Chain A
Amino acid sequence: MGRPSFRHGAAAVAIGIGLAVTIPVSPLAQGHRRGGSEDVPIFIVPTRAPAAARPASPPDLPREALALVSATLQLQTTRGASGAAVVQTVTRTADRVHVETGAGRELLYMRNPTDVRRVSAMLTDHTARTTVVYDESDLRRVLGIRGWLDVLTLGFDPGRFAELRPVSGTRRAFDLPFEHLEGPGSADGVLEAWWHQGELLPLEVVRRRPESDAPVVVTVVQRSLAVDRQRLALPTTRFPDYRQLDFADWLEGLHER
C-alpha cells in the first residue's frame, strides 16, 4: 500500500523557492501593518500525494442484531490437530458482550448507544488493578474489530461466510439448525463454518491463517440462556478502585516514567 512518487511535489517546492521573492499575501497577512523592506521568508507548502486508502466505516447491522437473544456461550479455540484447547466464557446480549479472556483479564464490549454500528471496550486487568478503555479506532487498529457486528459474531465477518458455498445438511445444536458452509477459503482464511443467521451465531468455524499451517477451530460448545448481569456492568462500577486509562496511555504507562 505504498504511496506514489512525490517527485512532482518536490519539484514544485524547488520551483516555488526559486520564484519566491516577495512577501506572502494571505487574507490575514494583508490586514497587518507592513514593516518596510525587511525580508520575510516565503514558505512553500509542498504538494503531497493523496493519502493511502482510509479505513472503512463500520459494517451495518442486520435487523437480527437488534433483537438478539441474550445467552452465555462457552467458546473453545483449538490450534492444530493436537493443539491445546482454550475455553472462554462469552456473555452476549444485544448491546453488551463480556469475554473472560483468562490470565486475570476480562473484556467488556459495549455497543455505541448513539450509532449502533460502533463499539468501544474496557479491558480489566485484575493483576494490575487497571481498566483500559479502547475506543472504536483502538479496537479497529489493535484487535481488527470493525464495529459492533464483529463483536456479536464472535470476531467472524458474516460477509466472508457468503464467500463460501452452502453444503447440504445442517447440524443441530442448542435446539437450533446451523447451515453448513465450506469452500476454498474466504479472504480471511475461513475454510468451513456452521452458521445460524437468525442468531448471528457461528457454531463452528475452521480457519487457516496464512502465517500458519495449522488450522484454528473455534467451536461454541455450550449455550445457556442464563446470563450473569453482573458481568455486563461497567468495570468502573464493579471495580471502582481500579485505575482507568485510555489504551494509548496504557501503552505509555507500561514503562516507568
Chain B
Amino acid sequence: MTTPSRSVALVVAAALLAGSPLSAGRDDRPGRPALDYKGRRAKNVIFFVGDGMGVSTITATRVYSVGVAGNLVVDQFPHTALSRTYGADAITPDSAPTMTAMMSGVNTNAGVLGLDETTEPLDFNHDGDGRAPWTLLEEAKASGMKVGVISTARITHATPAATYAHINNRDNENAIALQALPGDPTFNDRLGDGIDLLIGGGRQFFVPSTVTDEEGGTGSRSDGRDLRREFQSAGYSYVWNTAGFNALNRASLPVLGLFERGHMEYEYDRPTDSGSEPSLTDMTVKAIELLDGASRKSRKSGGYFLMVESGRIDHAHHEGNAFRALTDTEELDEAIGAAAHMVDLRDTLIIVSADHSHVFNIAGYPLRPKSELPYQVTSNDPGFEAPAGNGILDVVYDLTSGGAVAAAGDRNGVPYTVLGYLNGPGYRGGPRTDPRTDAFPGRGGVVPNGPSHPAYFQESAVPMGSETHAGEEVAIYAVGPGAALVHGTVKNTHIYQVMKAALGLGE
C-alpha cells in the first residue's frame, strides 16, 4: 500500500532538485496522474519488457514451449490490452521513444531517451533539447521507494536507460552510464542517492578503453574513468559473475552488476559464458528479494519499483534466428512466473509488455501435432510424427484429400516453414528448396539439419542484412492493484499512467 507521505516526499524532492542540470528550465516536478483511479493502491510495481516481443513472438513461444493449447504464465494474466507503439516521428519505432513513452508517458522521436518530442536525435536542428519528463522510476525513488533495473542487454542500452537517463542520442552510452553515477556532475539528481539495483550487461561503458576487464574484454570509455570503482566509492556493491551475484544479500544494496562486456548471452548460449552469468529468472528473483527486503527495512516502507527487460529477443529477430527469439521469450516467461509466485499480488502490480514488434510471421495452415488431432489420419509424412517445437519450428504440415498429411508446398510444390520473416538475412536468393534439406548456411556457416536447428535462418522475402521492427500493436498483460486499468487499445504511454495511478504517485 502506498504511504501517505509519498506525495509530500515528492514535493520535497522536487524542490531540492531545482538546481540540478537535468531539471533546470524543464520539468522540476512530476505531473499529476492522468487516470482517475480509486481502487486498491499498489505498494510495488514490477514492469517486464520483452524487447521486440510482438504478439506473433508470444504465440510462437507458446506453441514451442507448452503447445498451442497450453498456457504461458502471461496467458494467465487477467487483464490485457493492445498497445500502439508509434513514435512522435515514426510509424515503426525503435526502443528509445517507446520505452520513454512507457516510462514517462511522453511520446518522443527515434533515438531519443527521456526527452520530449521537441527533441531531435543529436539535436540536428541545433535548437536545444526539449523538456525532460520524470520517469516512473524517478518518481518512485523520489517518493521513498526502492528502485531496480535489470536487463539482459547492456544496462545503458535504450530500454533500461529510458528508466533513468535523459539524452538525445541513445548511442552515447558512456554519458548514459554517468547519469546513473551518484556524485558525478552529470548524475541525474532525480535518482536521489541512486538506483538501488542496476544489473545486466554493458561493462564496457564502465571500464576505460585501456583496461582489460574481468573476463578479458576491453572497455570503451575514452575518458579513462573506471566507473566500477567510482560506483563502489559511491557505496555500491559491484559484482560481475555468478559467484558474486549469488553472494548478494539485502545488506549489499545498492548493487551494480555487470555480467558481460556487451550484451549478456542469449539464454541458449548462456552456459558457455566465461565468467558465468545469471539467468533472467535468477536476476529477477534476486532483485525482488533484495528490494522487497530493503523496502520493508526502510522506515518509510515505501515499496519498490523494478523494471526487468529481456533485451535479446529483439537481437535474435534482427539476426533472423527464430530459435533464440523463442528461447529468450520462454526465459522471460519463466522470470515472470517466478515473480508472480514471490510477491503478494494484492499489493504488487505486475505489467508485461513490449516496446515494438518484428516482421515475424506464423504462416500457412499447419496442423497440430498428430497426437493432438481430434481424428485419425490415413497416412502422413514421417516428419509429422514428431514435428519440431510442437510444430512451430518445422515445415507446414497440412491435411490433403483423403485424410493424409503432407508437407504443404508453395506454388511449385516446395515445402515452407511455419515461421518466417518479411525481411532479413534469411533471404535465399535462388529457387526455393525444401527447408528440411536446405543447405543454405545458417549462423556460423553451419548447414542446419532442418528449421529447428539453433543456427537456422528462417526464410525472408526481402534481402536485408538485418531483419526489422514492425509497427503493429503489442500486448500488455497486467495483474495486481490497478491492473483493471489495462484494457482496450491504448497508446503505450498508458502503461506509465497505469503504474503511476496504481502507486498513487503525484497525488
23 A-B pairs, CB-CB below 8 angstroms?
A: A2-B388, A2-B450, A10-B66, A13-B70, A17-B71, A24-B341, A28-B344, A34-B344, A51-B268, A51-B327, A55-B271, A120-B216, A137-B272, A141-B455, A142-B444, A143-B445, A145-B444, A234-B218, A248-B315, A251-B318, A252-B94, A252-B314, A255-B466
| A127 lies within 8 A of chain B by Cβ | no
Which residues of A are found within 8 Å of B346, using beta-carbon distances? Answer: 32, 34-35, 38, 40
Q: Complex: how many Å from CA A140 to CA B274?
A: 13
Is A160 engaged at the interface, CB distance under 8 Å to the other chain?
A: no
Contact among B263, B272, B319 for A54, CB-based, below 8 A: B272
Which A residues lie within 8 Å of B394 (CB)? 2
* Per-position 1/0 for B458-489, Cβ under 8 A of A: 00000011101000000000010000000000
Of the candidates A28, A114, A133, A145, the one whose C-beta lies within 8 Å of that of B262 is: A133
* Distance, CA A51 to CA B389, complexed state (A): 11
Instruction: Write the B334-349 contact mask toward A (1 if CB under 8 angstroms, else 0).
Output: 1001101111111100
A4 contacts across to B, CB distance below 8 A: 386
| Nearest 6 Cβ contacts at the A-B interface | A2-B388, A211-B439, A144-B444, A32-B344, A45-B337, A10-B70
| Given A2-B387, A26-B342, A137 contacting B319 (CB threshold 8 A) | no
A254 touches B66 (CB 8 A): no
A188 to nearest B CB, angstroms?
10
Residue B69 interfacial (CB < 8 Å): yes
Shortest distance from the beta carbon of B382 to any chain A beta carbon, whole Å: 13
Complex CA distance for A224 and B446, rounded to whole angstroms: 32
Interface string of A34-64 (1 = CB under 8 A from B): 1100101101111010011011111000000
Closest B residue to A57 by beta carbon equals B272
Q: Please give, as numbers and ranges, the residues of chain B lying within 8 Å of A3 by CB-CB distance.
A: 64, 388-390, 452
Most buried by B among A1, A209, A211: A1
Write out the residue numbers on chain A whose beta carbons fall within 8 Å of the beta carbon of B344: 28-29, 32-34, 40
Chain A nearest CB, measured from B332 CB (Å): 12
**Per a CB cutoff under 8 Å, which of A29, A52, A120, A254 touches B268?**
A52
Q: Which residues of chain A have C-beta atoms less than 8 A from B296's C-beta?
A: 31
A4 nearest in chain B by CB position: B386
Is B216's CB under 8 angstroms from A43's CB?
Answer: no
- B453/A9 in contact, CB under 8 A: no
Q: How far is the CA of A41 from the CA of B341 in the complex (A)?
A: 10
Is the Cβ of B67 less than 8 Å from the Cβ of A10?
yes
For B443, what are the chain A residues with a Cβ–Cβ distance below 8 Å?
141-142, 144
Chain A residue at minimum C-beta to C-beta distance from B369: A5
B312, closest chain A residue (CB): A248
Cα distance A143–B441 when bound, in Å? 11
**Pair A5/B390 contact, Cβ less than 8 Å:** yes
Chain B residues in 8 Å Cβ range of A24: 340-341
With A142-B443, A211-B440, A257-B111 given, is the CB distance from A44 to B452 under 8 Å? no
0 or 1 for each of B26-70: is its CB under 8 Å from A? (1 = yes): 000000000000001000000000000000000000001111011
Instruction: Please indicate the chain A residues that have their CB under 8 angstroms from the CB of B341 in the complex.
Output: 24, 26, 29, 43, 45
**Bound Cα distance A122, B201 (Å):** 19
Residue A174 interfacial (CB < 8 Å) = no
Chain A contributes a number of interface residues (CB within 8 A of B) equal to: 67
Residues of A within 8 A of B444 (CB): 140-145
- Tell me the residues in window 211-257 of chain A with beta carbons closer than 8 Å to chain B beta carbons: 211-212, 234, 236, 244, 246, 248-249, 251-252, 254-255, 257
**With A136-B274, A211-B440 given, is the CB distance from A5 to B269 under 8 Å?**
no
> In the complex the two chains form, what is the Cα distance from A246 to B156 in whole Å?
13
- B266 & A6 in contact (Cβ 8 Å cutoff): no
B residues contacting A by CB (< 8 A) are 40, 64-67, 69-73, 76-78, 94, 110-111, 154, 171, 209, 212, 214-218, 220, 260-263, 265-266, 268-269, 271-274, 288-289, 292, 296, 312, 314-315, 318-319, 321, 327, 330, 334, 337-338, 340-347, 369, 371-372, 386-390, 393-394, 439-441, 443-447, 449-450, 452-455, 464-466, 468, 479
Closest A residue to B121 by CB, please name it: A257
Chain A residues with CB under 8 A of B371: 5, 7
B76 contacts which chain A residues (CB < 8 A)? 17, 41, 43-44
In the bound complex, CA of A35 to CA of B340 (Å): 17
Given A35-B40, A54-B269, A136-B274, A45 and B343 contact (CB-CB distance below 8 Å): no
| Residues in A neighbouring B67, C-beta threshold 8 A | 5-7, 9-10
In angstroms, Cα B345 to Cα A68, docked, is 61
Knowing A28-B342, A52-B268, the reply to whether A45 touches B66 (Cβ < 8 A) is no
Contact A13 B315 (CB under 8 A): no
A9-B66, A48-B330, A137-B269 given as contacts; is B289 within 8 A of A28 (CB)? yes
A113 touches B452 (CB 8 A): no
Whether A248 contacts B447 by the Cβ 8 Å rule is: no
Q: Measured between alpha carbons, how far is A104 from B324 in the docked complex, in Å?
A: 31
